[in-house]
Every structure is written in C-alpha cells, then in structure tokens.
C-alpha cells in the first residue's frame, strides 16, 4: 500500500517537472531559446534572456528528479530505522540543502541586474595586487574560504547548453572538515557536505557584491549547478588535480572540499596557473591506488574514463570519471555519501600529500 502511494507521488512530481514551461514573449527571449540555449559559450549580459535562470533550475530538477533519483531509495530512506541523533542531524542537513538550493536559484538570476551599477571604466582604477590581498583577507575572515586561484577559462570546459558572462575566473575552495567527513556514509558527513555547499554558495554571492563595490563586474556561480566544469578549472588555476573519482585533490585537504567560481571581465589579478608537471604524478598514483573505486557502494567510479576533449591548454583532458546515475541513489540516501572522499589517502591531511609526492617523484 505504502509502495503504491510513493509511486503515485513520484508520478505526480515527475509530471509537474515535465510540464514546467516558460513561454518566450519578448524577441530577446525567443532569440535566446532558439539560437543560444543549446550552444555553450560566453555571452554579453544583453544577449542573455531573463528566462535563463528558469531554464537552469528546470534542467537541474529534471536531471535530479526525473532520471537519477530512484524512488525506492527514498522510500527506504524514509522508513529506515534511525537513531535520535541521526534524525536530528538529518533535519539540519535538509535545512542546509534548502539553503544551498535557494542560493543556487539566486545566483542564476542576480548577476543580470546587479552589474549595471558597476561603471564599465571602473576597472581601470583598480590596483590588482592590493585588491588581491584585500580579497584573500575578506574571503578567509568572513567566509573561511581557504584557497583562491585566478585563471583564464578554457572555452571547452563550459558545459553543454550553458553560458557565462566573462572569460576569467576567481576560483574559491572551502574545506569539508575531516571529523565530519570521517563519519561517511552516515549523517554527519552528509551534513558537512551540504553545509559546505550552502556556506560557499553564500560566500561567492557576498564576495561578488563586495567586488562590485570595488568596481569589478562579475558573475558568481554557486557550487551547486555549475555552468562550467569546476575540477578542470581548479586544476587550470593551479589549485590541485583531478583524482580517479573525478573530484579535485588539493595538497591541503585531499578531496575534502567544494569549489565555486566568480567569473570576471578583465584579467586584473595575476594568474595562479602552475606547470601541470607539478601535479601529473597524481594520475600515476591513482592508477596504483584505486581505493575510491573499490570502496564505492554504487560501483559508480569508472576506471576507463569517458574523454570529451583531450586538448585543453594546461589541464589536458576533460573526462567524465563517474556515472551520476549509479552514484545518485547513494548520494541521496545519505544526503551526500562521501565514502570516496573519506577513503582517499590524500584526505587524511597532515602533510600526506607531500610525503606521497616525494615518493612518486623519486
Ligand atoms: S559519493 Fe558514494 S556512491 Fe558516489 S562515487 Fe563516491 S562513494 Fe560512490
Ligand atoms: S582514493 Fe586513490 S585512486 Fe581514488 S582519488 Fe584518491 S588517490 Fe586517487
């Protein structure tokens, strides 16, 4: 009986999502839907239709609720016996997830109007070096963002059907704290994942407003709902390298972090790009380790990667490393599974990155 009611609910929700439509009214909307929505690239603000945010949110719902979500998993999740502590943490996790969802929706809409207040010639008065120092202090003190990079965005990493406004990116990294991630796949790890998404999302929205006040025209992108592929972007900005499971490995946190960029109009800061040789040994180490692949409960990590492009400047290839359809049931069941993050040797911290690097470079 219960199973039937879950199925009926699932059918209803899927129908609502399938029927979400936005009717193009203005010539800009019509042109946007017809000509640009399916071509990734960089667009001027005036070329973007206000319906863009709507399209993005609809696509996010469709991808997550129509194809990836397994209703049986949710049903089991609801009926599963849990301790009082797990239920309490679960409520807090849902609160963080809702906050992250709201932040993602805001970040899709806001940038169109807000940059109008920033004069086009404002950037000519900016002292990049001084602003970079100020930015690092602001982001660290107010939002506990531990790492920032700056780079030019390779056009090939803009995701299919997406558009960004500018061709340079500040890349922000926020740590997921180790004691919480060590609880994976249980409640605390899920909470930490959603908390980091939510906090970093709030951070890039706030830092964008701060940058605009300094005369920088910019566009924040929430850590959820990326318009471009974040891991190669962070690799290009010299912050780390992609691991076997597709997540970023950094010297400081291993895989325990989330990434979010702010796209900006001019190269006002020095690029933080590093010689890829500095990180290429990580790929060789992953080939020997394969721990994430062996421990993944969904068998979602692919040993043979699907390569979309292997000619991207500095970072080389763009590869899909895990199957989201296999990962998603576990990710939703635990509200952020994170087993692969926990078992990665680099996530231990305490200088383990440097120890492995030394051995691999011998
Ligand atoms: S989050 Fe869990 S299910 Fe998804 S790839 Fe990592 S270990 Fe596998
Ligand atoms: S667990 Fe091992 S194989 Fe997987 S990303 Fe980490 S180092 Fe690479």
Query: Closest Cα to residue 212, out of 263, 284, 282?
Result: 263
Ligand 2 neighbourhood includes 189 CB (under 6 angstroms): no
The alpha helices in the chain, defined as continuous H runs, are 2-19, 27-31, 51-61, 71-79, 84-114, 128-143, 178-181, 187-213, 230-236, 277-289, 291-295, 324-333, 339-343, 352-360
Find the residues whose C-beta lies inside 6 A of ligand 1: 245, 296-298, 300-301, 322, 327, 330-331, 337-340
Query: What are the backbone angles phi and psi of residue 295, rounded to the nearest 5°?
Result: -95, -10
What are 212-245's pLDDT values in tens digits? 999 998 989 999 878 889 999 999 999 999 999 9
What is the spatial distance between Cα 292 and Cα 299, in angstroms, rounded to a whole number?
Answer: 10
Residue 39 has pLDDT above 70, yes or no: no
Tell me what pLDDT residue 312 has. Answer: 78
Ligand 1 atom 2, closest CA: 337
Q: Are 67 and 325 in contact (CB under 8 A)?
A: yes
Ligand 2 touching residue 245 (CB < 6 A): yes
Query: Using 50, 70 and 90 to split pLDDT, how confident is the model at 105?
Result: confident
Give the number of whichever ligand sits closest to the CA of residue 322: 1
Atom of ligand 1 nearest to the CA of 329: 3
Which has the higher per-residue pLDDT, 31 or 86? 86
Question: Does the beta carbon of 292 sit less than 6 angstroms from any atom of ligand 2?
Answer: yes
Pick the residue with more confidence: 281 or 102? 281
Distance from the alpha carbon of residue 260 to the mean position of ligand 1, in angstroms? 20
- Predicted model pTM: 0.85
Task: Specify whether the CB–CB gap between 281 and 290 falls below 8 A.
Answer: no
**272, 241 in Cβ contact below 8 A?**
no
What is the whole-number distance in angstroms between the Cα of residue 220 and the centre of ligand 2?
A: 30
Q: Is 142:208 a contact under the CB 8 Å cutoff?
A: no
Q: Please give the average per-residue pLDDT across 78-82, as a whole number.
A: 64
DSSP track, 111-180: HHHHGGGS-GGGGGG--HHHHHHHHHHHHHHHH---EEEEEEPPGGGBPTT-EES-SEEEEEEEEPPHHH
Q: How many CB atoms lie within 10 A of CB 194?
A: 23
> Which percentage of the chain shows pLDDT scores above 70?
74
CA 265 – ligand 2 centroid, Å: 35
Q: Is the CB of 296 under 6 A from ligand 2?
A: no
Ligand 1 centroid – CA 247 distance (Å): 11
Dump pLDDT digits (tens) for 161-207: 777 888 999 999 999 999 999 999 888 999 999 999 999 999 999 99
What is the predicted pLDDT for the residue at 309? 77
Cα–Cα nearest to 326, from 225, 246, 256, 249: 246
Q: Which atom of ligand 1 is nearest to the CA of 299?
A: 8
The closest of 130, 360, 67 to 268, measured between CA atoms, is 130
Q: Is the pLDDT of residue 153 over 90?
A: yes
- Residue 167 phi/psi, 5-degree rounding, is -105, 5
Q: How far is the CA of 12 from the centre of ligand 1 (A)?
A: 28
Read off the pLDDT of each residue in 289-302 and give the average, rounded to a whole number: 94
How would you class 221 by CB atoms within 10 Å of its CB: exposed for 0-12, middle for 13-18, buried for 19 or more?
buried
Chain-centroid distance, C-alpha 215: 26
Ligand 2: does its nearest atom lie under 6 Å from the Cβ of 286? yes
The residue with tokens 């930490």 is: 192
Indicate if ligand 2 lies below 6 Å from the C-beta of 290: yes
Q: What is the largest CA-CA distance in the chain?
A: 68
Q: Does position 257 have pLDDT exceeding 80, yes or no? A: yes
310-326 mean pLDDT: 80
CA of 245 relative to ligand 2 center, distance in Å: 7
Mean pLDDT for all residues in the chain? 83
Q: Which residue has the least CA distance to atom 3 on ligand 1?
A: 327
Task: DSSP letter for 74, please.
Answer: H
The ranges assigned to domains in the chain are 81-360
Pairing status of strand 41-42 against strand 163-164: parallel
Q: Over the stretch 264-274, which tens digit does the pLDDT of each residue have?
A: 989 999 999 99
Q: How confident is the model at residue 115 (pLDDT cuts 50, 70, 90)?
A: confident
Q: How far is the CA of 111 from the centre of ligand 1 (A)?
A: 33
Render pLDDT for 43-69 as a digit per residue (tens, 0 to 9): 665 555 555 666 666 666 666 655 555
Alpha carbon of 293 to ligand 1 centroid (Å): 9
């Amino acid at each position: 009986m219960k199973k039937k009611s879950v199925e009926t609910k699932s059918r209803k929700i899927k129908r609502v999502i399938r029927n979400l439509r936005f009717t193009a009214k203005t010539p800009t909307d019509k042109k946007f839907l017809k000509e640009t929505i399916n071509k990734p690239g960089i667009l001027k603000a005036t070329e973007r239709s206000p319906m863009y945010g709507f399209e993005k949110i609809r696509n996010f719902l469709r991808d997550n609720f129509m194809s990836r979500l397994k209703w049986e998993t949710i049903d089991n999740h609801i009926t599963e016996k849990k301790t009082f502590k797990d239920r309490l943490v679960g409520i807090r996790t849902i609160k963080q997830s809702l906050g992250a969802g709201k932040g993602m929706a805001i970040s899709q809409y806001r940038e169109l109007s807000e940059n109008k207040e920033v004069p086009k010639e404002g950037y000519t008065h900016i002292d990049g070096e001084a602003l970079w120092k100020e930015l690092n202090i602001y982001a660290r003190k107010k939002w506990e963002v531990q790492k920032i990079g700056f780079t030019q965005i390779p056009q090939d990493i803009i995701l299919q059907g997406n558009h960004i406004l500018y061709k340079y990116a500040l890349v922000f990294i926020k740590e997921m704290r180790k004691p919480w991630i060590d609880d994976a796949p249980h409640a605390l790890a899920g909470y930490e994942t959603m908390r980091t998404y939510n906090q970093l999302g709030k951070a890039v929205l706030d830092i964008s407003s701060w940058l605009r006040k300094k005369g920088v025209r910019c566009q924040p992108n929430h850590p959820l709902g990326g318009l471009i592929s974040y891991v190669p972007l962070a690799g290009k900005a010299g912050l780390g390298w992609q691991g076997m499971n597709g997540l970023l490995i950094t010297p400081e946190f291993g895989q325990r972090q989330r990434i979010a960029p702010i796209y900006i109009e001019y190269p006002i800061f020095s690029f933080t790009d590093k010689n890829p040789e500095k990180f290429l040994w990580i790929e060789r180490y992953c080939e020997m380790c394969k721990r994430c692949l062996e421990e993944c409960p969904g068998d979602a990590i692919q040993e043979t990667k699907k390569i979309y492009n292997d000619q991207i400047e500095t970072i080389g290839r763009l590869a899909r490393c895990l199957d989201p359809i296999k990962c998603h049931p576990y990710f939703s069941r635990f509200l952020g599974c994170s087993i692969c993050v926990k078992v990665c040797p680099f996530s231990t911290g305490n200088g383990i990155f440097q120890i492995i690097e030394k051995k691999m470079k011998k």
